[in-house]
Amino acid sequence: MVIPHANSRPIWLVTEAAMPRFLAAQGPASRAVLSAQNFNAERHRVMLLPNEAGDPTAAVVLGLGELASLELLRWWHVAGLPDKLPVGRYHFADALPDSVRYQSELGWRLGEYRYLRYRAAPSSARAQLDSLGNEASERAKRHAVACSLTRDLINTPANDLGPAELEAVMQDLALRHGAMFRSIVGDELLTANFPLVHAVGRASDRAPRLLELRWGSEDHPRITLVGKGVCFDSGGLDLKPAAAMLLMKKDMGGAAVALGLAQALMQRGAPLRLRVLIPAVENAVGSNAFRPGDVLRSRRGLSVEIGNTDAEGRLVLADALAEAQSDRPDLVVDFATLTGAARVALGPELPALFCNDPVVSQSLQHLGDLEADPVWPLPLWDAYDDELSSRIADINNVSSSSFSGAIFGALFLRRFIEPGTAWIHFDLYGWNARERPGRPVGADAQVLRLMDRYLAERFG
């Protein structure tokens, strides 16, 4: 535990209900300011408090409004602080319960995030957090750093983040943690039997690739993460309209989450045998592009008729998922910005969760709530499965129905999951559509903290 620096101002977190107790504990100077400003711990309201020695800004109080107890504090309650407070050092006062310490320090750190690749910060000097340095603070820091990696990757436009650049980031991550790294690039994908990854990515002059990282002792439970790494999704020949294409630099959001999570896991030395597989491609238009109506053989052997080249994510994931099961892992998790339909169903903030084990699904939903990194289950509805049928191939990559698109995406992926494989699929947006403290418009690292927590609870 770190003793706060002498110049570090304490931040008090106060609910409306706790206000009388808080007031009673204050000296006269501070009490005078609070009553003159009529402060009643209104949610998000921040006040600087004097001390008896005459320092007018000796402490900070943050209102939490009607929050029933401090245990219910979530990171976004405090995420506005770094931008609201004057330059200086701060720490969260009180012996906070670990979960509250975690959410508070996490909120501050997520609130600090800015994407500064292309222009300078508005002002360089900023309020700064002194963390307590216990396990909860360290976890908050680790998560914030991992989320920043994920956010930076998603925010980076496709001209600066193609398949090769994504590879460089993953290779660097592997190097920093002593992980094994390999990549299969361009036409090598054909000889190595990743035909769908190759087909989706081949029209771009930026070669498609299958990226792989392995880390940790062979004796540990085997966890394989698969992330959709479509660095730009034009829709291919079934081209997207302009409005739908505008945000498609973020179509590698699944890969970004997988890499951020991998970093968090390796940094804490999780007792896992970790494997990460990223099919990294650009879904481009060209004379050698794959076409609607083409029939492609997948890694697993199934023939796939292309109903729409814009359903490319499930194609590259199908080959990656086939490979993911080659060493009989204990759990396979895929992350993907897979369907617009998942957003129609649940909106931008609630990733859809599909899982072939209802107990795992329930536990993820519950932990998502606790972590303030929520997910919502949708069904792998067997009765719809036959709508993915093709007249000439084993399966079509889209259904002819215009309903339940997120379910069809998941059912398509399930065709590539072997019986007995424990599998989780997240269909996520990876983007904040509206501006809020800690959630600026732009990339969001959804389900990263949830999955670190889940894996920690289940495997240590």
> CA-to-CA distance for 81 and 83, rounded, in angstroms?
5
Site for Mn ion in 224-243 (CB under 5 A): 233
Residue 323 within binding range of ligand BES, rule CB under 6 A: no
Alpha helices in 53-113 (DSSP H): 81-84, 98-111
**CB closer to ligand BES out of 111 and 405:** 405
Residue whose entry in the numeric block shows the structure tokens 């592997």: 174
Count of residues touching Mn ion (by CB under 5 A) = 3
In angstroms, what is the C-alpha Rg of the chain?
A: 24
Quick one: DSSP state of residue 208?
-
Interface region with Mn ion, contact rule CB under 5 A, candidates 141-149, 153-161, 269-277, 308-316: 308-316
> CA-to-CA distance for 262 and 281, rounded, in angstroms?
20
Angle at 33 between CA 30 and CA 39, to 5 degrees: 105
Over the window 301 to 330, marking each residue x when it contacts Zn ion by CB under 5 A and - when it does not, the resulting string is: ------------x-----------------
Q: Is 240 a catalytic residue?
A: yes
Site for ligand BES in 331-390 (CB under 6 A): 337-341, 343
**CB closer to ligand BES out of 195 and 405:** 405
> CA-to-CA distance for 330 and 226, rounded, in angstroms?
14
Q: Do residues 76 and 67 lie in contact, with contact meaning Cβ atoms separated by under 8 Å?
A: no
For residue 154, give the 3-state DSSP assignment.
helix
**CB closer to Zn ion out of 156 and 421:** 156
Residue 312 within binding range of ligand BES, rule CB under 6 A: yes
Closest contact distance (angstroms) between CB of 289 and Mn ion is 13
Distance from CA of residue 425 to its chain's centroid? Answer: 13
Residue 313 within binding range of ligand BES, rule CB under 6 A: yes
Residue 30 within binding range of ligand BES, rule CB under 6 A: no
Alpha helices in 309-404 (DSSP H): 313-324, 340-346, 358-371
**CB closer to Mn ion out of 130 and 233:** 233
Angle at 387 between CA 382 and CA 389, to 5 degrees: 110
Residue type, 380: L
- List the catalytic residue out of 31, 89, 240, 458: 240
Count of residues touching Zn ion (by CB under 5 A) = 4
Interacting residues toward Mn ion by CB under 5 A: 233, 310, 312
Interacting residues toward ligand BES by CB under 6 A: 233, 251, 308, 310-313, 337-341, 343, 398, 405, 429
Interacting residues toward Zn ion by CB under 5 A: 230, 233, 251, 313
Active site members? 240, 314
